[in-house]
Structure 1
Amino acid sequence: MSERVMSGCADGLITLVAADALWVRSTAGSAVPTASGAFTHSPARARMGYVLLGSHVVATVRAGDGRWCVPDAEVRRAAAGLNAVVMDRQDLVRIGPFRGAPRREYGAETPLRWRPRIMGELQDRGDRERAARRETDRADHLAGIDWQQMLVEQTRDGTERTWWLPRAVVRLMDAAEHAEAQWLRAARTRQAGAPVTEPPSHPRQDPGTGSRRTASPEGPTASLRPYGKELEGQLYSVLSRKSGTSSKVAGWACAVCRTAPATVLDHCHEHGYVRAPVCQSCNTQERPDHLYSNDIRVANRYTRLFHTDADDWLRHWHRCPGCRTRATLPLPHLAAWTAHIACRSLRPTHRAPHGRKPCGTLRVSWTGSQNAPRSCLLTVAVELCPSGEHRVLARVPYREATERFRAWLAETAPAVAAAAVPDRLDGLPAHVRPVVADTSGEGLALF
């Protein structure tokens, strides 16, 4: 007997139970693990007229016998979109906890808001009484995705626990939030009696591919405008205090990946200027991996920043007039570049099963400040060497690191280098206003 006959619905519709089974079966080979109960377990919203499957919104309908059903073709289309996502489990984004973030309770009538949902469950795991109260609203899945299979817990300083998810999943969840917001906005407009074109439920451009192409007209950024230079030259300390800034940011597509909605306003912490609105994933990727205030671990993600997508990131960093006119980078980024690029040939290697492997973990620290270049010195070292070695590779003065970067910039991204004019310093404030401290205390923007 066919699945459609078993479902008891007509016109290509299947029941929610049948849709659960179809979703799991159709995504069995996906890099992103999916969960059963995508249509029937919290936080599924089938009785509200839709269900989130990845970054797709699948509309639900009520059959003549009162049962809720969904289009068979829409479930398969959502599954195909998820199957196309490429995921690197080593490329992680921290999702919490962050200091100062309010904890909220979420019920069946609340939209996705996946970060607080995950944090609420993780923080309640040690409290049996509270966990029992929340059991009926436990997030078994989010948008049909089994996030618990991909969650990585890390411990800092032996006490503080932090949680991480693969970057592709973070982008997928952010796109799901945006798609749901579009659908709800359109539904409210329809209820008010105004004509509206319902946003599509199957974007062509997948948010997890990492592509730099602009999303198609049917993608998750279809209703968003691309960022031009609307905020160029403005100080973050001034702009962040203006009313309506956060809603304006939410109207742009991410200025870096251009495939996700912007959620934060990235700015240069060294000069205080606004760079551009970016999505949370790109904002996390851009953030230096500080061990201490003057110490950086050079992680694998710097390969993307200085190799794979170097042109995009260099252009983004040079949206800051201070960095652009001086043809350099903020000190933490310059330090990471010096260790990763300028000192690459100095890093020792060890024998590995398939050739040779770079030694240990790369780390760069500095003394002094970029405001006193003669006193600033970068120290590049290798730690956690398999043979027990801990060695300093190089000590590079700040001015030398800057000159090396300028030469590399001209070769790697000539268009970006051409826009950088080190001698043109007119227009820059003599005394840059201090950057507003991030309210979360963990490097997140104010909105």
Structure 2
Amino acid sequence: MSEHVVPGHSDGLVTLESADALWVDLTAGGAVPTGSGACALSPAHARVGYVLLGSRVVPTVRTAGGLCGVAEIEVRRAAADLNAVVIEQWDLIRVGPFRRMPGQQRDTRALLRWRQRISEEVQGPGTRSRVVQRESRWPLLLAGIDWHQLLVEQTREGAQRTWWLPRAVVRLLDAAEHAETRWVQAARNRQVTTTATGTPADLPQPRPANARKTGSPKTQPVSLRPYTRELEGQLYSVLSRKSGMSRTIAGWACAVCRTAPATVLDHCHEHGYVRAPVCQSCNTQERPDHLYSNDIRVADRYTRLFHTDVHDWLRHWHRCTGCRARTTLPLPHLAAWTAYIACQPQRPTHRASRGRRPCGILRVSWTGSQNTPRSCLLTVTVDACPSGEHRVLARIPYRNAIEQFRGWLTETAPALAAAAGPDRLDGLPAHPRPVIADTAGDGLELF
């Protein structure tokens, strides 16, 4: 069989080098930057049965000459999917660094592990110089994507450096990691019924040249089951120790966005109860942006959490048995809500092309904890405001913040308020308060 594209045959094979050139050429006009070496260089696994191009797993085929090739039509399909991705530069997701939690990064089935690879590239003494040397020749691509062109580094005074990627790219890499995990698992299942060939146990077996016509795990539809409260009331400390839990989580769709595959179990850090399986993008969006252990920056993503997608997020947070019974939120979330919603009238504004818009950067800190509600105090400030640096908007006791949140929940989501806490059915309005999207929040500097 020829190693080059056969004119007029869309299913002709191309060599890995030709596939790299075709991938770069087809994606040149897309919003997501790509680079050469997607099929031939690490972390591609062309020699063991597949390569990752965007969110697709493209199987490799052995040619008559013993070389690896891929189907041209699969490269074109992957390029078309990537070109359809739209990037909003202001909608960023933090991708590191994060404090390592017990049990993280132990599951080696997801061979892409893109978050770990990015952290290894940008962190550690001497790492930057090695990265520059490698980038001068071949940048480290992830699923054929040149993430270096999209990575945003932010450094704030008194806080460590953080790295951010557009949300669309985070979802794309999560989908690639999930597709690879499923492909590897399917390949392992096939190996059980075949004779061992000496292939490493942690990688799938290369496919023979004539296996192309019989179909592949990539072409088999993978159905994600919706989450229907199977884990409600269970403790994360217990479930996280169970074997095979990662595989179980991967079978669910994200309980928040309901489109992406779930990858982690989100849980309440105050009460310890599991909320639901979610994708990495939603889990990162839900995580408060801590500057210190008791100080968070109220970022632009709270527009979605408390405005446009408020019902989905309130329902998700109240999947925690403790939060639902007390009709409250975990302290960092309650602090962010207090700064973003309860203190909105006190926030300074300035003139803009369309009326007035909030100024400065919201920040909220607290003393004490939710375990000592009498002494816990929330302090809401605005940094970098022309009317006064570090201007204090309000100091609100923890108990008052809870009462304000309960009243707002009753107006915003009556059904959720009725299901939370005892004797909450009286005095609920017949219709919820309309949620108005914040169309002015198009800059990270505002929030």
Q: Separation in 1 of the partners of 2:350 and 2:418?
A: 40
Shift of residue 345 of structure 1? Answer: 2.3
Does 2:271 match 1:271? yes
Shift of residue 73 of structure 1? Answer: 2.2
Shift of residue 282 of structure 1? Answer: 1.9
Task: For residue 43 of structure 1, give the secondary structure of its aligned residue in structure 2.
Answer: coil
Q: Separation in 2 of the partners of 1:288 and 1:128?
A: 28
Counting only pairs closer than 5 Å after superposition, residues 278-427 of structure 1 correspond to structure 2 as 278-353=278-353, 355-423=355-423
Shift of residue 377 of structure 1? Answer: 3.0
Q: Separation in 2 of the partners of 1:400 and 1:32?
A: 46
Amino acid at match of 1:178: H
Shift of residue 166 of structure 1? Answer: 2.5
Counting only pairs closer than 5 Å after superposition, residues 240-255 of structure 1 correspond to structure 2 as 240-255=240-255
Amino acid at match of 2:346: L
Deviations 1:166-217 (A, max 9, x none): 23222221211121121122223333337x984335xxxxxxxxxxxxxxx9
Deviations 1:279-323 (A, max 9, x none): 222222111122233222111011111112211111110011111
Deviations 1:224-268 (A, max 9, x none): 433222221122334334444444334433222233333322211
Shift of residue 385 of structure 1? Answer: 0.8
Aligned residues: 399
Q: Separation in 2 of the partners of 1:387 and 1:129?
A: 42
Aligned to 1:94: 95
Shift of residue 146 of structure 1? Answer: 0.2
Task: For residue 365 of structure 1, give the secondary structure of its aligned residue in structure 2.
Answer: strand
Equivalent pair of 1:43/1:139 in contact (CA under 8 Å): no
Identify if the C-alpha distance between structure 1 residues 402 and 121 changes in structure 2 by more than 3 Å, giving closer, same or farther.
closer
Does 2:201 match 1:200? no
Identify if the C-alpha distance between structure 1 residues 345 and 86 changes in structure 2 by more than 3 Å, giving closer, same or farther.
farther
Task: For residue 217 of structure 2, give the secondary structure of its aligned residue in structure 1.
Answer: coil
Identity of aligned residues (%): 70
Amino acid at match of 1:264: V
Which residues of structure 1 form unaligned runs of 5+?
202-216, 425-447
Q: Separation in 1 of the partners of 2:413 and 2:253?
A: 23
Equivalent pair of 1:327/1:422 in contact (CA under 8 Å): no
Aligned to 1:44: 44
Equivalent pair of 1:7/1:18 in contact (CA under 8 Å): no
Task: For residue 281 of structure 2, give the secondary structure of its aligned residue in structure 1.
Answer: helix
Please, which moves more after superposition, 81-90 or 154-163? 154-163
Identify if the C-alpha distance between structure 1 residues 188 and 239 changes in structure 2 by more than 3 Å, giving closer, same or farther.
closer
Deviations 1:320-344 (A, max 9, x none): 1111122221121111111111222
Identify if the C-alpha distance between structure 1 residues 158 and 411 changes in structure 2 by more than 3 Å, giving closer, same or farther.
closer
Equivalent pair of 1:186/1:198 in contact (CA under 8 Å): no
Aligned to 1:20: 20
Amino acid at match of 1:112: L
So what's the TM-score if we normalise by structure 1?
0.77
Counting only pairs closer than 5 Å after superposition, residues 158-197 of structure 1 correspond to structure 2 as 160-193=160-193
Task: For residue 142 of structure 1, give the secondary structure of its aligned residue in structure 2.
Answer: coil
Equivalent pair of 2:10/2:72 in contact (CA under 8 Å): no
Does 2:79 match 1:61? no
Amino acid at match of 2:217: P
Counting only pairs closer than 5 Å after superposition, residues 143-154 of structure 1 correspond to structure 2 as 143-154=143-154
Q: Separation in 2 of the partners of 1:130 and 1:141?
A: 15
Equivalent pair of 2:110/2:177 in contact (CA under 8 Å): no
Aligned to 1:442: none
Equivalent pair of 1:55/1:175 in contact (CA under 8 Å): yes
Task: For residue 396 of structure 2, give the secondary structure of its aligned residue in structure 1.
Answer: strand
Aligned to 1:34: 34
Aligned to 1:436: none
Q: Separation in 2 of the partners of 1:103 and 1:407?
A: 38
Task: For residue 237 of structure 1, give the secondary structure of its aligned residue in structure 2.
Answer: helix
Which residues of structure 2 form unaligned runs of 5+?
195-213, 425-447
Q: Separation in 2 of the partners of 1:404 and 1:395?
A: 14
Identify if the C-alpha distance between structure 1 residues 399 and 133 changes in structure 2 by more than 3 Å, giving closer, same or farther.
closer
Identify if the C-alpha distance between structure 1 residues 59 and 244 changes in structure 2 by more than 3 Å, giving closer, same or farther.
closer
